[in-house]
Amino acid sequence: MAYTEAPSPAGPVGSQYCVCKVELSICGQNLLDRDVTSKSDPFCVLFMEVNGKWVELDRTETAVNNLNPAFAKKFIVDYHFEEVQKLKFALFDQDKSSTQLYEHDFLGEFSCTLGTIVSSKKMTRALLLGNGKPAGKGMITIAAQELSDNRVITLSMAGRKLDKKDLFGKSDPFLEFHKPGDDGKWMLVHRTEVIKYTLDPVWKPFTVPLVSLCDGDMEKQIKVVCYDYDSDGGHDFIGEFQTSVARLCEAQDASPLELECINPKKQKKKKNYKNSGIIIVKSCKITRDFSFLDYILGGCQLMFTVGIDFTASNGNPQEPSSLHYINPLGTNEYLSAIWAVGQIIQDYDSDKMFPALGFGAQLPPDWKVSHEFAINFNPRNPFCSGVEGIVQAYSACLPHIRFYGPTNFSPIINHVARFAAQATQQETASQYFILLIITDGVISDMDETRHAVVQASKLPMSIIIVGVGNADFAAMEFLEGDSRVLHSYTGEEAVRDIVQFVPFRNFRNVPKETLAKAVLAELPQQVVQYFKHQNLPPINSEPA
């Protein structure tokens, strides 16, 4: 997504792997008519590319006599953010009962990545024949939805006049919540803390996934049991009741819900037995615990910027020993890092226009050192079209600059942070900025860089650093903050960990996809962490 700086300055505003299931709904429009006496009977087949080959995952039902089918059967695919997942949707006209696809007439196909689909949420594209030409006016519409119940329930519970179970004192009550298991037995879902020496306990509010408590079914019966804690593990039963989440939701802050805690044995023995105390639901709230995919499907764009190190320590790009030397295969470690990260992130950016910046070089015509220059030499428009555009601009600029120094990171970090700060003015989860810095060595402006990272941690922004060559990258690992919180030179702490560093040398002899997985592994949780911290739901989110 291309972004330009607004005239008014904006100040900063104060699983590891993303794996989930996506449901894809398929419709066809204006499909080719292959039947002589009637219309085509289409069905859709989904393929995924595995090790360079198309492997069939699933197929829909057949829509009889229909050139505009809406298939009832959905495709369910595991979604991995840090991988390029190539999909192909092929439509066929069923002619025979054979499962062999060559027995059926081909109606057209469409290929794209799963990332492209989820970032669009819904897309309509032309179907193509095997020769790449349009399949008549045939179109396919693909809609994506995350298959997960992200609702969580927060309960505040208390008790009143519970039965006294201890001989020399009051009870030490706690609650257990159970749901029916598949085997028909009650299954423990949650246990509260123990409140000592009281018959009128007030437990701390707790939050559990709705799926855990009642399988997402608000009407399903759940059982709440109250015990008196004993240190030997032989807890005394006080009482129990059955209810549903729908009933618990009747509790409001102003009007709590009161439920009788019953001991069935006492109830049978004593004629005048009323209850063994009252369990009070002080409040019950259901909210959504949004995932990375919720934000992407909600329309959040990932804004990608590349920062490239052109300092003298890289070596003369004309010589094979240089890290910037482009080998006969047309690549080097800088280009490999750009491709690995860029090909994933570009799917999440609608216009695929990416700023590419350089630092540590002397620029023509006056040969002054710059730590923040557009590698296309157009400071008003530093955008490159797609990852290919970045690669072209990089190759084109190499002969026209002089490698120099020092290795200053803070100007480029602050450059992207200015745009991220502006995005916060919208107060929506619409943009998140990713800065990829590729460098060969030790940071010269460590104090300023630490300060820039601490300030950027308050913004919708993450920094990925790929170290190329064989230098000592200990300082980079210090920036990551994985083992301890990063501090600015002023003593200010980073609000969250936003830096991910990997040395390229660890990935030289492995498939290129491995580098992308390593550098992008933490990104989904960083995106979610930021928007949750700001209390920003996905743009198009539904209420719980």
Average pLDDT of span 374-379:
96
Of the CA atoms within 13 Å of residue 272, those in its CB half-sphere come to 0
Q: How far apart are CA 509 and CA 515, in angstroms?
A: 11
Same domain (yes/no): 415, 467 = yes
In a domain, 8, yes or no: no
Percent of the chain with pLDDT over 90: 77
Domain count across the chain: 3
What is the number of residues in the chain? 544
Instruction: With CA atoms as reference, report the closest residue to 443 among 415, 480, 416, 418.
Output: 480
In a domain, 81, yes or no: yes
Mean pLDDT of the chain: 90
Percent of the chain with pLDDT over 70: 95
In a domain, 10, yes or no: no
Strand 42-50 with 53-59, pairing: antiparallel
Q: How far apart are CA 66 and CA 89, in angstroms?
A: 18
Of the listed ranges 68-72, 81-85, 166-170, 456-460, the least confidently predicted one is: 166-170
Same domain (yes/no): 274, 325 = no
Among candidate residues 96, 118, 147, the one where a domain is terminated: 147
Band (pLDDT 50/70/90 cuts) for residue 278 is very high
In a domain, 544, yes or no: no
Among candidate residues 288, 321, 341, the one where a domain is terminated: 288
pLDDT tens column, 99-142: 889 899 999 999 999 999 999 999 999 999 999 999 999 999 99
Q: What is the pLDDT of residue 15?
A: 33
Q: What is the pLDDT of residue 474?
A: 80
Q: What is the pLDDT of residue 475?
A: 77
In a domain, 65, yes or no: yes
Helix axes 333-345, 512-520, angle to 10 degrees: 60
Q: How far apart are CA 451 and CA 447, in angstroms?
A: 6
Same domain (yes/no): 94, 162 = no
In a domain, 541, yes or no: no
Tell me 70's DSSP state. B
Q: Which domain holds residue 335?
A: 300-534
Average pLDDT of span 46-66:
94
- Is the model's pLDDT at 357 over the cut of 50? yes
Residue 493 and residue 457 in contact, taking contact as beta carbons nearer than 8 Å = no
- Is the model's pLDDT at 4 over the cut of 60? no
Q: What is the pLDDT of residue 365?
A: 93
Report the CATH number that the domain containing residue 448 is assigned in CATH.
3.40.50.410
Report the sign of the C-alpha dihedral through residues 328, 330, 331, 336, in that order: negative
Report the sign of the C-alpha dihedral through residues 371, 377, 382, 386, in that order: negative
Among candidate residues 147, 171, 191, the one where a domain is terminated: 147
Same domain (yes/no): 307, 278 = no
- Is the model's pLDDT at 10 over the cut of 60? no
Same domain (yes/no): 501, 410 = yes
Residue 309 and residue 437 in contact, taking contact as beta carbons nearer than 8 Å = yes
Band (pLDDT 50/70/90 cuts) for residue 339 is very high
Q: What is the pLDDT of residue 419?
A: 96
Q: What is the pLDDT of residue 422?
A: 97
- Is the model's pLDDT at 255 over the cut of 70? yes
Same domain (yes/no): 129, 175 = no
Q: What is the pLDDT of residue 433?
A: 97
Report the CATH number that the domain containing residue 133 is assigned in CATH.
2.60.40.150
- Is the model's pLDDT at 205 over the cut of 60? yes
Same domain (yes/no): 174, 139 = no
Q: How far apart are CA 140 and CA 127, in angstroms?
A: 6
pLDDT tens column, 462-473: 999 999 999 888
- Is the model's pLDDT at 9 over the cut of 70? no
In a domain, 14, yes or no: no
Band (pLDDT 50/70/90 cuts) for residue 19 is low
Same domain (yes/no): 201, 314 = no
Q: What is the pLDDT of residue 483?
A: 64
Residue 464 and residue 519 in contact, taking contact as beta carbons nearer than 8 Å = yes
**How much of the chain is in helix, strand and coil states, percent to nearest 5?**
25, 35, 45
Same domain (yes/no): 188, 115 = no
- Is the model's pLDDT at 14 over the cut of 60? no
Same domain (yes/no): 453, 308 = yes
Q: What is the pLDDT of residue 482?
A: 64
Residue 21 and residue 76 in contact, taking contact as beta carbons nearer than 8 Å = yes
pLDDT tens column, 487-509: 888 889 999 999 999 999 999 88
- Is the model's pLDDT at 316 over the cut of 90? yes
Q: What is the pLDDT of residue 481?
A: 64
Same domain (yes/no): 219, 137 = no
Same domain (yes/no): 325, 412 = yes
In a domain, 542, yes or no: no
Q: What is the pLDDT of residue 489?
A: 85
